[in-house]
Chain A
Amino acid sequence: MDAVAVGSLYALIALGYTMVYGILKFINFAHSDIFVLGAWISFAAASATGWAAASNHPIGPAPWVWWVVILLSAAAVIATGVEFASASRAGRKFDIRYTRSAGVLTLMSVWAWAAIAMLFGAKVAHDHEGLHLLSGGLILLCAMLTCGLVSFTLERVAYKPLRKAPRLNVLITAIGVSLLLQNAGQLEHMFGTRPTRMPALLPDRVLASIGGGGAANTPSVEVHLVDVIGAGTALVLMLALDWLVFRTKMGRAMRAVSYNEKVAALMGIPVDRIISFTFVLGAMLAAAAGFLYAMKYPGLNQSAAPVWVLLGLKAFVAAVVGGIGNVRGAMLGGLLIGLIEFFGAKYLSTDFRDVYVFGLLIVVLLVRPSGILGKAVADKV
């Protein structure tokens, strides 16, 4: 059951890798840091809403967050005002969607306020006995929104200027962003360098025991509530994503951009907006994975800790094994990696659990270089 729960988390993270790779053809090394950020933000949100009474964090978001959000909103209002004035002077019709800085800033500030609203909602829910599950859900949403916002900003600031640059440069930038996130997270005013414990948002229960005993005297498989909720949430999110990618107009646009960016742009698809959307989507899934992971394993390390980085790497491996650039492949790969890791650890040797994962990666790459569900790309001569 661990295998399925963790595997589905791998799959969630892997989706972010694979979507970004599918569209921009580069490995977003900063993605695993977004996942870590998600876990830490859920922790901060949980302690801010009163879940961890002993924590050193004040109730409500840290003061500088208010400043950032207020400044952002002010900038949005000013930009909108300027745009409105110039539009009315030029006799254009004012439409916030078509005005760049105003639109982006407004979107960002609304987004940030939404995250804060989630936080307060979570606080209210926390104070009412019966609404604890709702509170957890709101914290999850808050983490997802915040990570999405961070990712959106990063994409606009760091990656967008490099759209036409060689892929290696983008990769280096991703490494830079990853360093930035890791080290910023360690600052005193952010999360600090000390490991913490995520408060338990739910009392853990063993829901059922399957098998066990019998002639072989195998230990029974316990189904924990946390696992069920974790895997369930992950599954719901993945189904939602699948629906989004394969059934909606937005998804069709995403697939078009990933197939051929230039042609998609010629067909009137707003490529930049689609790319941002993809980043945000990936980041939100990673944040959800961070939240769920913190629920399952409450010990939170500092953000550059090898454990976290390794988690991100394994998720990346999952994306590759499933066929990078392929959304369903990432889901499959994540589950596969989880299964291999936990069954290997259980039946062979715990010491080598990382070896199984990377060994699987190398075997898959040598046998089927483009992953299980991936398509080989031929070079046109």
Chain B
Amino acid sequence: MTKLFEQARLLKPAAPATMLRAVWPLFAVIALAVVLQAVLKPWLETVSGGDFYAKVLLDIGINIILAVSLTIVNGFTGQFSIGHAAFMAVGGYTAAGIVYYGSMYFYGDAAPHAGALSTMIQDHHSGAIFTRGDGLYVISLIAGGIVAAICGLVVGLPSLRLRGDYLAIVTLGFGEILRVLIQQSADVSYDAAEIRAAPIVGLGQLFSQPRAEWQAPLWARLGGPLGFSGLPFYTSLFWVFIIVGITLLVAFRLKNSTFGRAFLSIREDETASEAMGVNTTRYKVWAFVIAAFFAGVAGALFAHTTGVQLSAQELGFQKSFDIIIMVVLGGMGSISGAAIAAAVVTILPELLRDPTRLVGWQPQIIGITLLAAAIAAVLRYKGRSAAFLWSIAFGGAGLCVLTWLGYGIVKLADATGHPLDIKLGDYRMIIFALSLILMMILRPQGLLGVREVWDKALWAKRAKQGGKP
């Protein structure tokens, strides 16, 4: 048998076609992001009469980035990291420092100097499409990612030699230490003149001045326990969904390449993987670094979102748990599953906060239910079973019935003159927790298992998994 690379040389495909194939998804992502920003956002604003829906969409986007990046570590390589939010914090604070102090440096204030692409509030931009402020913001996104990735490397290199749960514990410890360090940082300065005068790195003064005269350098002025306030809000649907697209693209291409198989083999059996020539430590660290990078970018996006106060407490391990929940609900190793779960987990508490909104969405829910049922029926007619579609249809129908039932009960109670005094909002986290537990018991492999939504095997008959309890 010839050597693999000799064989590959013979197979070299046509260059232009390959390049086109490699690049078009990127253009598609950019186009989609422009449409979201320019068309969908104004529409959502007219629908909801505010930026509520757009904001939820934004949160969904950020959560998708987080969930998909964590999938690379938890889902692909099977390592259990529970400090993902810490990388988010690293990226967020790095980007916040760059944008805030950069803004102060260049403009003298920290208001957003944004173009049309990076604004969430209509008519708030200067008319240009891309401004210098945007440039600063984009640089901060990349820098946030890179610093987070470096942290990932520093944490990952020693701890990925450890097996199993210990990695989880170390990532947890890392997150907690980071939180304390950030909380000990000095206050943010609001004075442009002072900022211009302050040292940026400031290590020189360690040797030159008496301690009492030390000035906190800019990198250590991150707002302490109260959080980093006064950040300009640059994050828009456009930027979030560009990053979502890139994250998904990277994740899919990794998964479907030889590296993806290497990652998955580590999850399946580390010893066998190593024996088959996969340098397991190296790939675990790689997965960790890539995931940390995207978490850092997500943190940077998060930091510049309207209505968000960037604080270390916010990005503690509770947030890490949220991300893990998304990954597990979606199915370990399923990218589309993680993305869907991220969307569901973001929407669900919002829905439960005000269930009457559901009533307004009845036509859409009924539509999706009927559509899913119809496609499932057609597939059935063609001799293929579509358990997944059926479950969507049943879920939708159940949601409809529940909504109307709840609505009816509330109305009935109102009519009898004893309005119900149950605030569903109080119970939403309980319902959420219960559904999480139920999900683990009833469908332990998550929504999609390792499959993607479009995998044939997901739609095929269940017969082969018959042995599973």
Contact = CB atoms under 8 A, between A and B. Distances in A.
Q: Do A and B interact?
A: yes
**Interface majority SS (helix, strand, loop, mixed), chain A:** helix
Given A180-B430, A351-B184, A365-B162, A173 B173 contact: no
**Interface majority SS (helix, strand, loop, mixed), chain B:** helix
A362 interface: yes
A354 B444 contact: no
Interface stretch (A2-10, A130-138, A164-172): A164-172
Contacts of A179: 429, 432-433, 436
Contact of A165 (B159, B432, B437, B444): B444
Interface stretch (B163-171, B295-303, B386-394, B452-460): B163-171
Interface in B72-101: 74, 80
Contact of B440 (A169, A186, A313, A351): A169
B321 A175 contact: yes
B433 A183 contact: yes
Given A179-B432, A183-B430, A162 B170 contact: no
A188 B425 CA distance: 12
A164 B436 contact: no
B206 to A, nearest CB: 18
Contacts of A310: 176
| Most B Cβ at <10 Å: residue of A183, A310, A320, A369 | A183
B332 interface: yes
B271 to A, nearest CB: 6
A184 B432 CA distance: 12
Contact of A169 (B174, B444, B469): B444
Nearest to A173: B440
A359 B177 contact: yes
A169 B434 contact: no
Interface in A171-224: 171-173, 175-177, 179-180, 182-184, 186-188
Given A365-B169, A365-B170, A158 B313 contact: no
B148 interface: no
A161 B170 CA distance: 29
Interface string A149-162: 00000000010011
A366 interface: yes
Contacts of A253: none
B181 interface: yes
| Most A Cβ at <10 Å: residue of B163, B165, B427, B432 | B165
Interface in B313-370: 313, 316-318, 321, 324-325, 328, 332
B390 to A, nearest CB: 24
Contact of B437 (A173, A359, A381): A173
Contact of A358 (B80, B176, B432): B176
A145 to B, nearest CB: 24
A175 B436 contact: yes
A310 B332 CA distance: 28
B436 A176 contact: yes
Contact of A355 (B180, B270, B436): B180
Contact of B325 (A161, A175, A182, A355): A175
B437 A180 contact: yes
A66 interface: no
A70 B462 CA distance: 45
B230 to A, nearest CB: 24
A354 B177 contact: yes
A320 B170 CA distance: 10
A352 interface: yes
Contacts of A187: 426-427, 430
A164 B440 CA distance: 12
Contacts of A313: 172, 176, 317
B328 A176 contact: no
A27 B168 contact: yes
Contacts of B332: 168
Interface of A: 27, 158, 161-162, 164-166, 168-173, 175-177, 179-180, 182-184, 186-188, 306, 309-310, 313, 316-317, 320, 324, 351-352, 354-355, 358-359, 361-362, 365-366, 369, 379, 381
Interface of B: 74, 80, 158-159, 162-163, 165-166, 168-170, 172-174, 176-177, 179-181, 184, 270-271, 313, 316-318, 321, 324-325, 328, 332, 426-427, 429-430, 432-434, 436-437, 440-441, 444, 469
Given A27-B165, A175-B436, A324-B165, 11 more contacts: A27-B168, A162-B441, A169-B440, A172-B440, A175-B325, A176-B433, A306-B316, A354-B177, A361-B173, A365-B170, A379-B163
28 contacts: A161-B441, A162-B441, A173-B436, A175-B436, A176-B440, A179-B429, A180-B433, A180-B437, A186-B426, A306-B316, A310-B176, A313-B172, A316-B169, A352-B180, A352-B184, A354-B176, A354-B177, A355-B177, A355-B180, A355-B181, A359-B173, A361-B170, A362-B174, A362-B177, A365-B159, A365-B162, A366-B158, A379-B271
